[in-house]
Chains A and B, each alone.
Chain A
Amino acid sequence: MRFRSLTFTVNLFLVLALAAGVGLVMAAFTFSLLSSRDQLTRSNLLQQGNIIYTSIANFMLPGNAPLAVKFVSQIAISSPESAISLYRRDGVPAFSDNATIEKVNSNQKKIKFEPRLAPGPQEPRPAGPRFKEATANPPQEVFFRESEGGHTYFRAYRPLINLPKCSVCHGADHTVRGVIDIRSDVSSVIRTQNLTIAGGAGGFLLVVGLLALFIGTFLRSLVLSPIQSIGRLCAEVTSGRFEGRVDLRAKNEIGDLGRTVNQMVSGLRERFELTKYVSRGTIGALTEGEKPQRVQRTLLFTDVRGFTAYTEKTDPERVVGALNRLLERQAEIIHEWGGDIDKFVGDEVVSVFAGEDAAARACRAARDIVRLCAMRAQDFDGLAVGVGAATGPIIQGMIGSERRADFTVIGDSVNIASRLCSIAKAGQVIVSDSTKAAAGLELIFKGPFGAKLKGKTAAQKVWILETAEGSTQEAGS
């Protein structure tokens, strides 16, 4: 799965959540604003239509149609943002000719109105499906929005119904007498509202940005940065560096976590440092409370040959330097083969191997140590070691006083390994018969030889490990 940083995820979530939340409010506000504007305008236009309708109807009934014309024209003068027109149902502007007068006179069978001498106002005819909708049977009030010449208009068609009382003069063969056309210029209103919406949108973006910045900064300082610090410290510990600490002073859960991590790293450092001075067995015993027990082990002793003489004729710093390099490399080889350094005693190394193939691993470690000394003699100022190994039951447990003790091994095999080491010459690995038997067939031993060991009455059967290159009989060879 692709790694995605916590900071990115939190910031993304914040921005999305804020955008969704505040955006919904903004959208609702905008929708409400536009909707209420349209409803208000529609209501106003239809109300105007009703008023004008009533006025015109009252002008018409007593036969004062010219008053209706004057009324409409005066409304246009007093309210320039609104245009009011009157059309017959066929779309011809009302009073633009004598057709209506002639029809009324015909229906009344008398000259009720004198025909006009001059033509009336000529206006463009409305057309389209909306006008047809307004003049259909049944007629409908129509409200719509249109743009023209850079202006926006709300427009309403209010049908003039041919009421029964009107049909006396106008005839009863039609339902709609005409249409009142009310057009209101709402450009300035829309412009103002668009500015309001744009301002709101800008404010929305600003608020989202500021909130995201504020909350993001707050979360980063409160949670993310401490977690990142703890993560960096854990990474350092994983790579073996225990010096670092997290600096978290907050008195909250994160602060507690930081302090706990610091304590944990301190403990790890102590344990790590401890491994330099005591065996892994000792550390294991400390942590696991290991009781004394009799176990099968292979003991490996190495000791520098001629070391006393070397120290007497060599500068102390050079002695310590060479010895430490030699001990360091021996320790590495022993660890590589799964052994545990029990102790360093001067120039002597005591190590313990456990497990079914302990003898074989111990022998291979001994072989590598001897080869190392031979091949890199100049690194160790010519020092070389003799090695002894023995396998058998030993007692493993805490040995010492209450104030100072080691988790170490005692027993006959320990003594035998030590004795074999003491008789081994430089570059020689002498192992007990039990070790040779347990080491398997891949390693080559010379022997057996009889060795008289201190503390043993009878001669011990011992073997010398072949350590030269190519002396190992690897599987299949």
Chain B
Amino acid sequence: MKALLAGLCALALSSALCGCVKAAEEIYAPDDYPGWARTTAILLNYPIPGHENRLRIPRMNAKGFTAAPRAQGGKLVWDFPEDTTIVKEVFASANPAPGEKPIQLTIMAKDPTDKRAQAGWLWITKDLPDGKETVFTGNFCVTCHANANEQHPYGDGNPNEDFRDYVYFVPGESVPKGQLSQQPAYR
């Protein structure tokens, strides 16, 4: 009887601890993300809806660069592999000072198994400098990025309306004349 009571107490205690201690959350933008390669050579300092008049620098982990498009119905279909992560640094202005840090990171993490995923991606914001990551549950991000799969005004403009998996600047995209970035030394 005492053993039974002790077991029940232990079970209740462990349940209480499980309820109180939050499981460690996944970090989508690791500390070494600045070492990741940029997804485009274009200087993204022109105004766009969502980020408006702020400089953006998108970087992608090595996993994302393994993606290769396949031809389907006269179009190219991109399907970035699971665990692809794209981190877009957002600065306070269009022309930040050299060495200035971004104010926010917006992140696309490919994880179709996650219930919060929209179009196969998790849409995350990371406020700096507190480092808090928040998975975006609204459809604002995905609605806007859906335009990447159609003709749009950025980069090469996706003239063939290839399916680019919601990513505006896919690896190997040709840079239209006059849009090449001068790649300022922000980092």
Residues of A at under 8 Å CB distance from B? 137-141, 159, 161-168, 172-176
Contact = CB atoms under 8 A, between A and B. Distances in A.
Nearest to B50: A175
Given A159-B140, A175-B52, 5 more contacts: A138-B138, A164-B147, A164-B154, A165-B153, A176-B49
A173 B53 contact: yes
Contacts of A165: 147, 150-153
B136 A138 contact: yes
B50 A137 contact: yes
Question: How many interface residues does chain B have, given as a range?
Answer: 10 to 19
Interface in B105-163: 136, 138, 140-141, 143-144, 147, 150-154
Contacts of B53: 173
A175 B154 CA distance: 16
A138 B153 contact: no
Given A168-B153, A175-B52, A163 B143 contact: yes
15 contacts: A138-B50, A138-B138, A139-B138, A164-B48, A164-B49, A164-B153, A165-B147, A165-B151, A165-B153, A172-B46, A172-B48, A172-B49, A172-B52, A175-B52, A176-B49
Contacts of A164: 48-49, 144, 147, 152-154
Contacts, number: 53
Interface in B37-62: 46-50, 52-53
A139 B147 CA distance: 17
B53 to A, nearest CB: 7
B144 A173 contact: no
B138 A161 contact: no
Contacts of B136: 138
A167 B153 contact: yes
A167 B47 CA distance: 10
Nearest to B145: A164
A21 to B, nearest CB: 27
Nearest to A174: B49
A140 B144 CA distance: 14
A168 B53 CA distance: 16
B151 A162 contact: no
B143 A173 contact: no
B47 A172 contact: yes
A161 B151 contact: no
A163 B46 contact: no
A163 B144 contact: yes
A117 B140 CA distance: 36
Contacts of B49: 161-164, 166-167, 172, 174-176
A236 B145 CA distance: 93
A163 B147 CA distance: 7
A10 to B, nearest CB: 34
Nearest to B152: A164
B52 A174 contact: yes
Nearest to A177: B49
